[in-house]
Structure 1
Amino acid sequence: MIEMLVSGLAGVVLGLSLAAPPGPMNAVIAEESVLRGWRSGFLAGLGAMTADACFFVLALAGVIAVVREAPIVRGLMVGVGGLLMLYFAYGAAQDATSTFTTDEVDEDAKGFRKAFALAITNPYQIIWWLTAGVGLLDPGRFDVLSGLPGSLTVSTGGPIIIVGFFAGIACWITGFPAALSAAGKRVDSFAPAVAYVSAGILALAGVSFVYDSVTTLV
């Protein structure tokens, strides 16, 4: 029972390690949250989570391992992701002049599609699945207290740690938009500031990824 609990918590930590770090995906979630409300931010996060579910299936099928050995394929994916980030950076800068609107289905769907497109080509997520993701799916056991008194064993490759992983992502994409949406509603100037910061993060990441793609392919 203890091992199951520890494995589940380890999965949550792994999920947060993918979802929480600052970067282009959280920039998109932040923009959607402060401009259009919690639902739009949550659905943007759900778009990113859906991409992770796709990576999970691809990893199970062994496709992730093939991409690891194909630098040209990785370079092309990084390039596409960089161009998408530059495109959405332009859109985020335009959104900075918007004000809060009611939740609309088409806007929510737009946020979901935008986040999914970025996530499925996001080099950080691809690299995560090539490294930590492989460890998540590889059946095994390890002691997190290795070298210390006692034993605290985590089982990888099983349903408990995988459920915990997606639960960790779900916690982030629920709580992060809620916090930003609440702050944005209290301070009206907060929304355009977040949109401009999001545009800057996306633009810098886009330029970096396009450069990485060009150097890889050339």
Structure 2
Amino acid sequence: MSFLQPELIIELAKALILGFTVGISAAMIPGPMMFTTVGIALKKGWRTGLFVFTGHAFVESLIFLLILVGVAAFIGEQVISYMAIIGGIVMLLFGLFLIKSAKEVSAVDISESASKMDICSAPVSAGVLTTALNPAVLIWWLTAGSSILLQAYLVGIFAVLAFAIGHWIADLGVLVAVSSSCSKGKEMMSRRAHERILYLCGGLLAIFGFWFLFNYNSFSSMI
């Protein structure tokens, strides 16, 4: 079967890893979705992370479909390949931002910030709202995210699914870890560990960004 060809398996593994890297990088940055998860988890327990993720994944699924159906239908493979340049620049800048701000971001008191927010009490709705109404999410998927998805699309739908699965594994893992920790009155991790993870994610994203910039004609060499 063509699906079991070694080359395709390698491509799927690379797409999965890239999806996980992108997901964990975004999920580890304190923002509306994390604050909301913390606030609701303090009242409703560890399952909050599962429900917030459900709403988040629903919105991202719609974004994925819009990108693939709306864009891929009107542009050719060459244009898609060159879109990787934009994606590479965004990933590079995002990676450098993570490295530069890792110490400051890891010092954010998430529980305190969550207590100051007007939090939606329905976790699925919270996942939908904090994703759909977050400008940073939309900007990411219109630039780097769309270029990654369309490059994966050139390999095949299984590469797109592998990227999405890797991305959602990271999102789900972080959200459940956050809600579980908060429901038990504990910190998810030490600030030092948080900082080190952000450094690692920033470095990996910067590397992916360089690869997209200098190897935009070959998806296999990019991821």
TM-score by length of 2: 0.50
> SS state of the match for residue 118, structure 2?
helix
Query: What is residue 22 of structure 2 aligned with on the other side?
Result: 14
Partner of 2:54: 46
Unpaired runs of 5+ in structure 1?
65-87, 96-106, 141-154, 191-218
Cα offset, 1:126, TM superposition: 0.4
Judge conservation of contact 2:42–2:182 (CA < 8 Å) in 1: yes
Q: In the TM superposition, what are the counterparts of 1:67-106 in structure 2 within 5 Å? A: 90-92=117-119
Please list the CA deviations of residues 36-70 of structure 1 after superposition, one character each: whole Å capped at 9, or x if unmatched.
Answer: 11212211122111111111111123379xxxxxx
Provide closer, same or farther for how the CA distance between residues 134 and 55 of structure 1 changes in structure 2, counting only shifts above 3 A: same
Q: How far apart, in 2, do the equivalents of 1:186 and 1:34 lie? A: 8
* Identity level (%): 26
Name the counterpart of 1:171. Answer: 169
Match of 2:134 among 122, 135, 140: 122
In structure 2, list runs of 5 or more residues that go unmatched.
1-5, 73-114, 188-223
Corresponding residue for residue 96 of structure 2: none
CA 1:34–1:175: 2 relative to 1, 3 Å: farther
Asked if 2 retains the 8 angstrom alpha-carbon contact of 1:32 and 1:40, the reply is yes
- Equivalent residue number for residue 187 of structure 1: 185
Residue 25 (structure 1) aligned with residue 22 (structure 2)? no
Q: TM-score, normalised by structure 1?
A: 0.51
Instruction: Give the Å deviation of 1:19.
Output: 3.5
In structure 2, the CA distance between the partners of 1:160 and 1:112, relative to structure 1 (3 Å rule), is same
Partner of residue 99, structure 1 = none
Q: Which of 37, 61, 67 lines up with 2:45 in the alignment?
A: 37
The number of aligned residues is: 137
Change (3 A) 1:20 1:161: farther
RMSD of equivalent CA atoms: 3.2
For residues 38 and 180 of structure 1, do their structure 2 counterparts lie closer, same or farther at Cα, with a shift above 3 Å needed? Answer: same
Residues 185 and 130 of structure 1: is their aligned pair in 2 closer, same or farther, counting only changes over 3 Å?
A: closer
